[in-house]
């Protein structure tokens, strides 16, 4: 069966690859990007003072633990003499500098990480020390920026007084690719709103996310049910991976406890941990269940459950983006925060949801009974509302900015009186046949 299951997995990968969100251009957040801004504050003759800021201008994607790991490549023999608000992971080879006073970092391609919260004040700068975590624009616009300052030497290239920018910027977060630096008008600052000072030069780098660059396999899947049907449509088989494929590691747990053999990551770890998922036919770390719960005269009620199948990750500040035509008449949401994304002005059929602080903003690992739930009330809009043809189910679901695998519409729960329409799709038939054997 191995070649067939490989083929099936490949088929799902292709389905994800051709989906519109995979090209780096995101129709739900067309201007979304993370901008790195490099402000030359002072030219001291032989060294420069620079402030580096990282701004997350994305509507719903955030940067979670282990945070950003910013790196670049110096063009010459620059070294970082000092840094505050962040630190280089490696000092590197500083043996060419004699004496006690060694630079902070002599690497040709330094990697910079944010400091932990609670760092002593004398090492802090404004907007620093958040472990590299950035909120999204919708969730918390006051927490979208990280900053640090550094002092580095002028490269010893003869006959040039120009400020030199490094190249090859990277955020160290899977899925992002960054542009070359480009010069922009100098940043301006004011303390009293009356007088403005400006920096010597400002350069920007824009970094854009692509789900396909991040990982060729999806990270979440959707299952569906409705009060009017006995059918519970599970996540498609092999949504994220297939049990039995090489590299498809999963854990069977009879009890609800985290298997003791797993090594849990340290809280201050700076590396992304590979998911360790509970064995399931979908093999996704996250499952979203959409249940059409009730119908009233003027309203209908949907229950949404997010379940964490990953044993080694608590999802902090998780978020969910849903697209459904009736979300324009969202009337009430219980126990989640929400905000319409309203990207196309009038048509607000896309809504972002996230947890309530200290209540359910942390989606715990499965071992800790990991799920969060909400119910929402939607007004039945005249002319568009119907339970027919699977209309009551979401069009697109994203968890933490990644698109989730949906069941095929042919399998959606149907109203009891509507005739059963057999699937005409060859591919679904094939998946079904395979699913019997796998
Ligand atoms: C990056 O985001 C900013 C703020 O939304 C926007 O003004 C800018 O055009 C974006 N840049 C790119 C390259 O998309
Ligand atoms: C440069 O980046 C800053 C901070 O993100 C942003 O405010 C500014 O609009 C950017 N400038 C250009 C021309 O992209
Ligand atoms: C460190 O750099 C010096 C030259 O600056 C070089 O001679 C030496 O071999 C390097 N040491 C290591 C361990 O790479
Ligand atoms: C210095 O900058 C100017 C203007 O940007 C440019 O024309 C010139 O080529 C630069 N010189 C060097 C040596 O990079
Ligand atoms: C930047 O990356 C490119 C491609 O990886 C490489 O060819 C180039 O040498 C790098 N530049 C520097 C200054 O390291
Ligand atoms: C998990 O259990 C299923 C069914 O009991 C079995 O087929 C599968 O091989 C098990 N997987 C692992 C990794 O133990
Ligand atoms: C998740 O959070 C719970 C409760 O705070 C904690 O006991 C557990 O160790 C955490 N797990 C991971 C993988 O961080
Ligand atoms: C969607 O937009 C309509 C009209 O612009 C507005 O009346 C409605 O309150 C909005 N819905 C939500 C959930 O914000």
pLDDT at residue number 281: 93
Mean pLDDT is lowest, of 13-27, 30-44, 376-390, for 13-27
pLDDT at residue number 250: 87
CA nearest to 353, candidates 369, 371, 373, 370: 373
pLDDT at residue number 339: 94
The pTM (predicted TM-score) of the whole model is: 0.84
pLDDT at residue number 357: 92
Check pLDDT > 90 for residue 255.
no
Q: What is the CATH topology of the domain spanning 218-256+273-411?
A: Immunoglobulin-like (2.60.40)
Sort strands 277-278 and 250-251 into parallel, antiparallel or unpaired. parallel
- CA–CA separation, 93 and 106 (whole Å): 6
pLDDT at residue number 82: 95
- CA–CA separation, 159 and 203 (whole Å): 22
pLDDT at residue number 246: 79
Does the structural domain 26-212 have CATH classification 2.60.40.290? yes
User: Is there an atom of ligand 1 within 6 Å of 24 CB?
Assistant: no
User: Is there an atom of ligand 6 within 6 Å of 244 CB?
Assistant: no
Higher-scoring residue by pLDDT: 387, 8: 387
CA nearest to 390, candidates 407, 373, 375, 403: 407
User: Is there an atom of ligand 4 within 6 Å of 160 CB?
Assistant: yes
- CA–CA separation, 341 and 348 (whole Å): 7
pLDDT at residue number 132: 95
Check pLDDT > 60 for residue 259.
no
Burial label for 26, CB within 10 Å (0-12, 13-18, 19+), is: buried
Q: Where are the domains of the chain?
A: 26-212, 218-256+273-411
Mean pLDDT of 183-200: 92
- CA–CA separation, 322 and 300 (whole Å): 16
For residue 123, the Cα-to-chain-centroid distance in whole angstroms is: 29
Assigned token pair, 27: 């129709």
pLDDT in tens, 123-154: 888 999 999 999 999 999 999 999 999 999 98
User: Is there an atom of ligand 5 within 6 Å of 73 CB?
Assistant: yes
Mutate to test the pocket of ligand 8, among 302, 324, 326, 329 (most ligand atoms within 8 A of CB): 329
Q: Which residue has the tokens 């201007």?
A: 31
Residues 6+ apart with CB under 8 A from 103: 79, 80, 81, 91, 94, 97
Binned at pLDDT 50, 70 and 90, residue 212 comes out as: confident
Ligand lying nearest the CA atom of residue 31: 1
Assigned token pair, 227: 């009060």
Mean pLDDT of 256-267: 56
Binned at pLDDT 50, 70 and 90, residue 365 comes out as: confident
pLDDT in tens, 281-310: 999 999 999 999 999 999 999 999 999 999
Mean pLDDT is lowest, of 1-10, 291-300, 348-357, for 1-10
Binned at pLDDT 50, 70 and 90, residue 12 comes out as: very low
Q: Is the peptide bond before 100 cis (omega within 30 degrees of 0)?
A: no
Nearest CA to ligand 4 atom 1: 162
User: Is there an atom of ligand 2 within 6 Å of 61 CB?
Assistant: no
Task: Say yes or no: do domains 26-212 and 218-256+273-411 share a fold.
Answer: yes
pLDDT at residue number 419: 44
pLDDT at residue number 276: 85
- CA–CA separation, 239 and 408 (whole Å): 12
Average pLDDT value for the chain:
85
pLDDT at residue number 433: 46
pLDDT in tens, 168-188: 999 999 999 999 999 999 999
Sort strands 69-73 and 111-114 into parallel, antiparallel or unpaired. antiparallel
Dmax (CA) for the chain in angstroms is: 86
Higher-scoring residue by pLDDT: 77, 2: 77
Check pLDDT > 60 for residue 74.
yes
Check pLDDT > 70 for residue 426.
no
Angle CA 36–42–44, to nearest 5: 130
SS3 at position 401: coil
Mean pLDDT of 342-351: 76
How many residues are listed for the chain in this entry?
438
pLDDT at residue number 27: 84
Mutate to test the pocket of ligand 3, among 76, 91, 93 (most ligand atoms within 8 A of CB): 93
Mutate to test the pocket of ligand 5, among 73, 155, 164 (most ligand atoms within 8 A of CB): 73
Mean pLDDT is lowest, of 206-215, 331-340, 388-397, for 206-215
Handedness of CA 322, 315, 61, 406 (dihedral sign): negative
Taking each continuous run of H as one helix and of E as one strand, the counts in the chain are 3, 27
- CA–CA separation, 217 and 238 (whole Å): 10
Q: For residue 154, count other CB atoms closer than 10 A to its CB.
A: 19
DSSP string, 104-171: SB--SS-EEEEPPTT--GGG--TT--STT-B--TTT-GGG-EEEEEEEEEPP--TT--S----EEEE-
pLDDT at residue number 261: 52
């Amino acid at each position: 069966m191995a070649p067939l299951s490989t083929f099936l997995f490949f088929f799902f990968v292709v389905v994800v690859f051709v989906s519109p969100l995979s090209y780096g251009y995101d129709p739900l957040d067309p201007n979304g990007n993370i901008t790195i801004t490099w402000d030359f504050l002072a030219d001291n003759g032989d060294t420069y003072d620079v402030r580096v800021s990282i701004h997350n201008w994305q509507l719903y994607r955030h940067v979670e633990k282990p945070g950003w790991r910013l790196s670049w490549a110096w063009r010459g023999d620059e070294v970082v003499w000092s840094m505050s608000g962040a630190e280089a992971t490696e000092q590197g080879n500083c043996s060419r500098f004699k004496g006690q006073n060694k630079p902070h970092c002599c690497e040709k391609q330094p990697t910079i990480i944010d400091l932990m919260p609670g760092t002593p004040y004398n090492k802090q700068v404004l907007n620093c020390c958040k472990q590299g975590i950035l909120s999204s624009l919708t969730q918390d616009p006051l927490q979208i920026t990280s900053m640090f300052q550094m002092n580095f030497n002028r490269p010893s290239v003869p006959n040039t007084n120009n400020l030199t920018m490094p190249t090859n910027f990277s955020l160290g977060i899977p899925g992002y690719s960054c542009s070359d630096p480009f010069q922009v008008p100098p940043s301006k600052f004011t303390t009293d709103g009356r007088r403005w000072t400006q920096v010597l030069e400002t350069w920007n780098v824009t970094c854009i996310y692509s789900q396909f660059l991040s990982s060729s396999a999806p990270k979440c899947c959707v299952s569906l049910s409705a009060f009017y049907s006995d059918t519970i449509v599970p996540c498609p088989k092999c949504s994220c991976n297939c049990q039995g494929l090489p590299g498809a590691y999963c854990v069977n747990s009879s009890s609800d406890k985290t298997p003791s053999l797993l090594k849990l990551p340290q809280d201050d770890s700076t590396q992304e941990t590979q998911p360790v998922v509970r064995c399931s036919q979908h093999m996704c770390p996250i499952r979203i269940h959409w249940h059409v719960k009730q119908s009233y005269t003027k309203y209908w009620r949907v229950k949404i459950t997010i379940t964490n199948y990953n044993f080694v990750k608590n999802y902090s500040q998780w978020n969910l983006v849903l697209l459904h035509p009736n979300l324009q008449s969202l009337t009430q949401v219980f126990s989640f925060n929400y905000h319409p994304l309203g990207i196309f002005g009038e048509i607000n059929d896309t809504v972002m949801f996230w947890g309530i602080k200290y209540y359910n903003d942390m989606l715990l690992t499965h071992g800790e009974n990991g799920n969060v739930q909400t119910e929402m009330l939607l007004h039945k809009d005249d002319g568009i509302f119907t339970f027919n043809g699977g209309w009551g189910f979401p069009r697109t679901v994203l968890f933490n900015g990644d698109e989730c695998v949906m069941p095929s519409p042919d399998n959606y729960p149907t109203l009891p009186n509507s005739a059963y329409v057999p699937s005409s799709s060859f591919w679904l038939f094939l998946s079904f046949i395979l699913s019997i054997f796998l």
